[in-house]
Chain A
Amino acid sequence: MIRVLSMAQTEFRISLRNRWVAVSVAMMAVFSIVLAAAGSAPSGTVGVDRLSVTVASLTSLGVYLVPLVALLMSFDAIAGETERGTLPLLLTYPLSRAEVLVGKLIAHLAVLALAVGAGYGLAALAIWVWDARAVAGLPALWRLTWSSVVLGAVFLGAGYALSALARRPSGAAGLAIGLWLGVIVLWDLGLLAALVADNGGWFTTDVFPVALLANPADAFRLYNLAASEAGAAAAGLAGAANAVPPGAALASLLLWPLAALGLALAAFRKVTP
C-alpha cells in the first residue's frame, strides 16, 4: 500500500510540475463558466432552476472534455517511461505492474477530480449568485461530478492500454486521438446516420439502445440526462434513448473502468523493458 501511495504521490508531483494540473483545471473552469453564463441568461424554461439546466449542458461538455483530458494524461504513462529509460529500473523494484498502474491511476484521478470539481464548482457558484433557487440542482451536479470522474477512469485505463501497446509516446498519442475521435465523435454520428436510414425499424428498437450502452461516453450522458429532469429538453439523442433504463446506463458506466484497467494491465504485462 505504501508503494502504491508513493507511486501516486510521485506521479501527482510530476503532473503538478508538468503543468498538467494547471492546464486541466483551467480548461474545465473556462468552459464551465462560459456554459454557466450562457445558462443563466433569461430563458423560456419555467419551473426548472437554472443549475439543472446548466448541468445538462455541462454533461455535454463533460462527454467531450473529460475523456480528452484523461487520454492526454495517460497516453505517456508507460510509453514515456519506456522512452525515458526509467521503466527497467522501476520494474526491478519489489512492486508489481498492477501496483504501478494503480499508483498512476490514483494520481491521475486526483488531477481529474480537481479539474472537474473546480470547473463544475465554479459554474455552480456563478449560477447560485444569480439565482438562489439553484440549490435544487445540487444533487444533479454532484451526480455529474462523480460520474465524470468515473468516465475519466475509463479513458485513463484505455490510455494506459494504448500507451503499453504503442511503446512510443508519439504512437500512443496518435492512438489516443484516434480513440477519442472514434468513441466520442464518430460513434454517435454513425448511430445517428443509422437511425435516420433505419427510420424506426429493427435497428432503432433493438440495436440502438445496446449500442448506446456499449459506449461509456453515451452511458455517462444517458445516466446524467435521464436522472435530471431538464434532460429531455437538452438532449438530441434523448428522445430515442428513453428506451434505455438509467440503471443499465449506470451499470455500464461502472463496469467500463474495470474493463479498461483490465485491458491496460494485460497490455502492460506484455511490455518487455
Chain B
Amino acid sequence: MLTLSHLTKCFDGATALDDVSMMVAPGERVALLGHNGAGKSTLMKIVLGLIPHDGGTVEVLGARPGSGAARAGVAYLPESAAFHPALSGRETIAHYLRLRGHPAALAGALLDRVGLSDAADRRIGTYSKGMRQRVGLAQALIGRPRLMVLDEPTSGLDPVSRRGFYTILEDLAAEGAAILLSSHALTEVEARTDRMVILAQGRLMAEGSLSALRRAADLPVTVELTAVNGARAAILDAVPGGELLGNRITYRCRQDEKMGLLRRLSAQSESLEDIEMHPPSLEDLYSHFSRGAAR
C-alpha cells in the first residue's frame, strides 16, 4: 500500500527527514511516534503529495504520491483539521462526498458514525475542538479508503470517543485498509496498533511490534523492595548493587539477570516487608529510542 525508501526532505538547509524507509501493508495499523518536530507531519504530507521530497522514493498504492490514482484511494486527516466555519457539518461532509463521487445523502450516516448527528445542522463555527476533529474523521471515512493517513487523530477527543475511534479503525483494517497514524498518546497506541515506528530528528530510530521493541531495547528491570526496620544494611551486604532511598532499596538489572537477583533476595526474605517489580514502561522504551538520535 505504502512504501517509502530512503526518503529525505530538507527545509532550506534543515533536514526534516533523513533516509527514512518503511512500509505499511494492507490491513495493518502502523503508529508513527516521535517528539515535536520529529518529522511525522512532514512524512505524511509527502505521502499525500502535498509537499515534494528531495531524495528517495515514495510509492502510494503503486502510484506517485499526489497522482490521481493515489488521491482516489487515500484518505487524510490533517493535524489540526479545519473547516469553513460558515458551513454546517452536514454541508461540509456532503461537499466532500461529492468531491469523491459519492451521493451527498450519505453525510447523515457518516456523521452518525462519529457521533455528530445532533450537531449535524449547526455551523462548524459553533463546534468544540473535539467536534471539529470528528468532522475530520467523518470525511476520512468516505468511500472505503485503501490507505488512511491520520495525523494525531485522537487529539482533542474524550476517552469514550477515542475508544469508538479505534474500534472504527479496527473494522477498517479488518476490511483491508492500510492505516498510518501519528500520536503522542503511547498507551492507546500500544494497545490499538500492530506496529510502531519511532522517528527522532527526522531519522527512523526503531520499528516493530511492542514486544520486538522491548527485546531490542533491552532496558533494565527495576526491583524495588521495602526492608523491615533495621535490616537495610544486612540486605545491602548480602545483595550489593542496590540504591538506598529512605526505607526502600532499588535494584536495576538486565532481563536475563532478573531471576538470579530474585533468588538472592528471597534468601533474605525475613528482612523484607514488600517487593515490587517494574518492567520498562512504554515511556522508557520511547525515550530510549528517541535519545538514540542524540548519540
Contact = CB atoms under 8 A, between A and B. Distances in A.
A45 interface: no
A68 B162 CA distance: 48
Contacts of B139: 89
Contacts of A17: 86-87
Contacts of A94: 68, 71-72, 99-101
Which of A17, A91, A92: most chain B CB closer than 10 A? Answer: A92
Interface of B: 45, 48-52, 68, 71-72, 74, 76, 78, 80-84, 86-87, 91, 95-96, 98-101, 136, 139
A43 interface: no
Nearest to B47: A92
> Interface range on chain A: under 10, 10 to 19, 20 to 34, or 35 or more?
20 to 34
Contact of B50 (A18, A84, A273): A273
B99 A86 contact: no
Sort A-B residue pairs by CB-CB distance and give the 7 closest, nearest first. Answer: A85-B82, A6-B98, A17-B86, A94-B71, A92-B76, A93-B99, A10-B95
Given A3-B98, A89-B78, A93-B99, A272 B51 contact: yes
A88 B50 contact: yes
B99 A3 contact: yes
A85 B99 CA distance: 18
B78 A10 contact: no
A13 interface: yes
Contacts of B95: 6-7, 9-10
B99 A14 contact: no
Contacts of A273: 50-51
A92 to B, nearest CB: 4
A6 B99 contact: yes
Nearest to A84: B82
B136 to A, nearest CB: 8
A70 B268 CA distance: 87
Contacts of A89: 76, 78, 81-82, 136, 139
A136 B2 CA distance: 68
A2 interface: yes
B50 A85 contact: no
A138 interface: no
A14 B124 CA distance: 12
A95 interface: yes
A84 B125 CA distance: 12
A188 B101 CA distance: 48
Contacts of B101: 2-3, 94
Contacts of B84: 10, 14, 84, 86
Nearest to B73: A94
Nearest to B98: A6
Nearest to A16: B86
